[in-house]
């Protein structure tokens, strides 16, 4: 009978439990909960196997909730967890020995890799619901100490002052009926603190702050609960700062009293305000711009903008910050405005005015176009000169050159010196002489044609060379050989040039000649003489480079009308040409002889 009664009672309890669960789930599904998202300060990081807590972010600013008010009202504080494997939020089982709720804190003692995820703090009653999440990250501990760890607390200590360091969260955790210990280390080195630093109970006291006492401190709290050994690690970053003595008024570095900002009308102007802010513990200092004694925010002009100040440098708490003022479409009316940079803290106020002047207008586009056109013209002129330099020199000489016939008393324009062989003689008489006399109008002297019988070769050669303005030497393997008349003519011309005469020697390379086969006189004078190469059929036309170079070296003729006719092939010499030349030479010889007799 007793067994039956116990069985019926157990069934009733089970049915009641099921109904309560169904009712709670139904109410939660019907009530829409306002989600505040995830805490913006970042996630909570904890080492694997250590104790951590999660603070409900609904009790932190800017929310208006207070845990004391929650306790005195019908609202409840609930904790949920959402992991990657769970599609929905799951309530946290606080009966687990690792989970412990202490007011607005949720303690995990200790945390493991399975505890990572999103923890949701929810405040609700029958008519309202609000929730906010916090991420928990469980990381593996890299050794006993980590110098690159993110500090849990930053502490600023003035030089030569005293400060007591307490391990963070030690007083937050309730440790009922348990003993605990706190160990300290500096820069991951466990040492016995002496002299100006001393351990007092759980705290570390710095009696006088020095530079070597700065940087990272680590404290490890160890305790036992229900026979389980637990611990958590915290890091404190100690920052030395200048003591609060002397003047702490801000100093404006820029704009200075003698500084002038150069602006360009129509552009966006940037004005920089750089301020040195002395360290003041726990105090905010301000930097701002004013336009005609009105702040940029009050001005409400979209052309003016001034973002928040930025940190330039920091030295033991003293900061140097910049704040910029941007003025779009700067106009001449803005030059009449008053731009002031101001800074203030509890110790004083300072202001400095920015002096502006317009930048002289520089026609950048016009200068760029002009420079481009100039460079293009210079390049074009360089190309033209490189290709047509002979034509340009001939044109210049025709305009500004002088006719040597009016400045000397010489009889011949050109004296032609060549080796006495059939091939060179044919080139000289059929091509070179004919073009110079017929086409260019020069008076040409050829010894074999113009000399009189019975004279001395040496005297006649020197006389002909001395009466000529140019000596054209046809260079070939047979020319300028020792003991020949060609060498005598070359020596006479070089001697005349050496003694400052008006004679100029021009070399025409009829056939390629090795430099070693040249006579000594020709090798020595080669660097100072002009060498023009005859290239056969390519040089036959009067428009070829050969005749232009040769004409450039010969005397100028202003009254000469050139007859541009095609030259005959020098390999096809006709007897009529030799006969005509011989007849002209004979007539000149008879005329000269008759003149001498008379």
Q: What is the CATH number of the domain that holds 434?
A: 3.40.50.10140
- Told to judge if 489 belongs to the known catalytic residues of this protein, a careful annotator would answer yes
161 pLDDT more than 60: yes
- Given pLDDT bands bounded at 50, 70 and 90, which one contains residue 524? confident
Three-state SS annotation for 124-172: ECCCCEEEEEEEEEEECCCCCCCCCCCCCEEEEEECCCCEEECCCCCCC
pLDDT value at residue 30: 53
436 pLDDT more than 60: yes
Domain for residue 506, yes or no?
Answer: yes
Write down the residue that tokens 């000269």 correspond to: 592
Q: Lowest mean pLDDT: which of 65-74, 125-134, 203-212, 378-387?
A: 65-74
**Do residues 427 and 576 share a domain?**
yes
Instruction: Count Cβ atoms within 10 A of the Cβ of residue 297 and give its class: 0-12 exposed, 13-18 middle, 19 or more buried.
Output: exposed
pLDDT value at residue 375: 94
Is the separation of the CB atoms in 235 and 214 below 8 Å? no
The number of beta carbons lying within 10 Å of the beta carbon of residue 448 is: 14
**Do residues 578 and 518 share a domain?**
yes
- What is the largest distance, in Å, between two alpha-carbon atoms of the chain? 187
**Do residues 545 and 422 share a domain?**
yes
Of 241, 269, 298, the residue at which a domain comes to its end is: 241
pTM above 0.85, yes or no: no
pLDDT value at residue 75: 85
Domain for residue 207, yes or no?
Answer: yes
Domain for residue 548, yes or no?
Answer: yes
Of 332, 358, 384, the residue at which a domain comes to its end is: 358
Domain for residue 369, yes or no?
Answer: no
Domain for residue 580, yes or no?
Answer: yes
140 pLDDT more than 80: yes
Domain for residue 379, yes or no?
Answer: no
Q: Mean pLDDT: which of 61-70, 364-373, 480-489 is highest? A: 364-373
Average predicted confidence (pLDDT) for the chain: 81
The phi, psi pair for 370, rounded to 5°, reads -65, -40
**Do residues 526 and 460 share a domain?**
yes
Is the separation of the CB atoms in 424 and 418 below 8 Å? yes
SS3 label, residue 526: helix
**Do residues 201 and 261 share a domain?**
no
1 pLDDT more than 80: no
**Do residues 208 and 283 share a domain?**
no
pLDDT digits (tens, 9 = 90+) for 4-35: 333 333 333 333 333 333 334 334 445 688 88
pLDDT value at residue 586: 35
For the chain, what is the domain count?
4
**Do residues 589 and 467 share a domain?**
yes
Q: Mean pLDDT: which of 22-36, 326-340, 450-464, 511-525 is highest? A: 326-340
**Do residues 433 and 520 share a domain?**
yes
Q: Mean pLDDT: which of 31-35, 271-275, 332-336 is highest? A: 271-275
**Do residues 261 and 235 share a domain?**
no
The phi, psi pair for 262, rounded to 5°, reads -95, 125
Q: Give the closest residue to 526 by CA, choosing from 536, 537, 511, 516.
A: 516
**Do residues 557 and 489 share a domain?**
yes
The phi, psi pair for 317, rounded to 5°, reads 95, -30
**Do residues 418 and 474 share a domain?**
yes
Tokens of 393: 């020199």
66 pLDDT more than 60: yes
**Do residues 223 and 315 share a domain?**
no
Domain CATH code at residue 328: 2.60.40.10
Domain for residue 222, yes or no?
Answer: yes
pLDDT value at residue 26: 39
What number is the average pLDDT over the span 532-547? 90
By residue range, what is the domain housing residue 427? 410-597
Catalytic residue among 87, 104, 489, 553: 489
The enclosing H or E element of 223 equals strand 215-225
- Separation of alpha carbons 309 and 320, rounded Å: 10
What number is the average pLDDT over the span 182-193? 86
327 or 514, which is more confident: 327
Domain for residue 46, yes or no?
Answer: yes
Tokens of 159: 């030089």
151 pLDDT more than 50: yes
- Given pLDDT bands bounded at 50, 70 and 90, which one contains residue 585? very low
C-alpha angle 225-231-235 in degrees, rounded to nearest 5: 150
Q: What percent of the chain has pLDDT over 70?
A: 85
- Given pLDDT bands bounded at 50, 70 and 90, which one contains residue 227? confident
pLDDT value at residue 577: 38
The phi, psi pair for 305, rounded to 5°, reads -145, 145
Of 241, 271, 286, the residue at which a domain comes to its end is: 241
Q: Lowest mean pLDDT: which of 128-137, 353-362, 582-591?
A: 582-591
């Amino acid at each position: 009978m007793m067994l039956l009664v116990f069985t019926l009672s157990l069934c009733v309890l089970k049915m009641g439990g099921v109904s309560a669960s169904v009712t709670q789930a139904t109410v939660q599904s019907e009530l829409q909960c306002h989600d505040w998202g995830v805490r913006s300060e970042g996630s909570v990081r904890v080492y694997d196997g250590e104790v951590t807590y999660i603070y409900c972010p609904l009790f932190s600013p800017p929310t208006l909730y207070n845990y004391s008010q929650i306790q005195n009202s019908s609202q409840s504080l609930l904790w949920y967890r959402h992991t990657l494997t769970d599609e929905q939020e799951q309530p946290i089982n606080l009966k687990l020995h690792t989970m412990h709720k202490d007011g607005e804190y949720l303690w995990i003692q200790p945390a493991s890799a399975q505890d990572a995820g999103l923890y949701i703090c929810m405040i609700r009653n029958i008519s309202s619901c609000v929730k906010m999440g916090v991420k928990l990250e469980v990381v593996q501990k890299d050794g006993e100490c980590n110098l690159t760890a993110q500090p849990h607390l930053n502490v600023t200590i003035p030089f030569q002052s005293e400060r007591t360091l307490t391990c963070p969260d030690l007083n937050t955790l309730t440790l009922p009926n348990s003993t605990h210990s706190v160990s300290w280390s500096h820069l991951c080195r466990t040492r016995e603190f002496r002299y100006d630093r001393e351990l007092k109970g759980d705290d570390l006291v710095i009696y006088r702050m020095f530079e070597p006492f700065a940087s990272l401190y680590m404290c490890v709290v160890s305790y036992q609960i229900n026979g389980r050994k637990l611990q958590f690690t915290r890091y404190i970053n100690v920052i030395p700062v200048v003591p609060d003595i002397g003047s702490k008024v801000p100093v404006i570095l820029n704009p200075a009293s003698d500084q002038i900002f150069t602006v360009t009308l129509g552009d966006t102007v940037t004005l920089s305000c750089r301020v040195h802010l002395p360290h003041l513990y726990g105090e905010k200092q301000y930097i701002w711009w004013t336009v005609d004694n009105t702040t940029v925010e009050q001005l409400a002009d979209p052309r003016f903008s001034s973002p928040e100040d930025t940190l330039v440098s920091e030295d033991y708490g003293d900061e140097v910050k910049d704040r910029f003022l941007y003025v779009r479409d700067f106009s001449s009316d803005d030059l009449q405005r008053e731009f002031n940079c101001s800074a203030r803290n509890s110790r004083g106020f300072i202001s400095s005015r920015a002096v502006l002047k317009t930048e002289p207008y520089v026609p950048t586009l016009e200068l760029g176009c002009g420079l481009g056109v100039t460079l293009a013209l210079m390049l074009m002129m360089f190309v033209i000169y490189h290709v047509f330099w002979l034509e340009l020199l001939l044109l210049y000489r025709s305009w500004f050159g002088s006719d040597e016939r009016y400045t000397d008393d010489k009889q011949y324009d050109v004296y032609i010196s060549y080796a006495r062989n059939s091939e060179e003689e044919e080139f000289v008489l059929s091509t070179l002489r004919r073009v110079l006399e017929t086409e260019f109008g020069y008076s040409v002297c050829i010894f074999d044609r113009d000399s009189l019988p019975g004279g001395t070769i040496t005297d006649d050669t020197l006389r002909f060379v001395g009466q000529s303005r140019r000596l054209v030497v046809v260079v070939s393997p047979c020319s300028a050989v020792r003991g020949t008349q060609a060498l005598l003519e070359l020596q006479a011309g070089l001697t005349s040039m050496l003694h400052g005469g008006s004679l100029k020697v021009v070399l025409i390379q009829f056939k390629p000649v090795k430099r070693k086969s040249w006579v000594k006189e020709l090798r020595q004078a080669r660097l100072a003489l002009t060498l023009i190469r005859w290239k056969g059929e390519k040089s036959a036309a009067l428009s070829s480079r050969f005749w232009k170079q040769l004409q450039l070296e010969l005397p100028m003729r202003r009254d000469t009308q050139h007859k541009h006719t095609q030259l005959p092939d020098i390999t096809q010499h006709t007897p009529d040409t030799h006969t005509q030349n011989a007849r002209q030479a004979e007539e000149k010889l008879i005329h000269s002889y008759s003149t001498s007799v008379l």
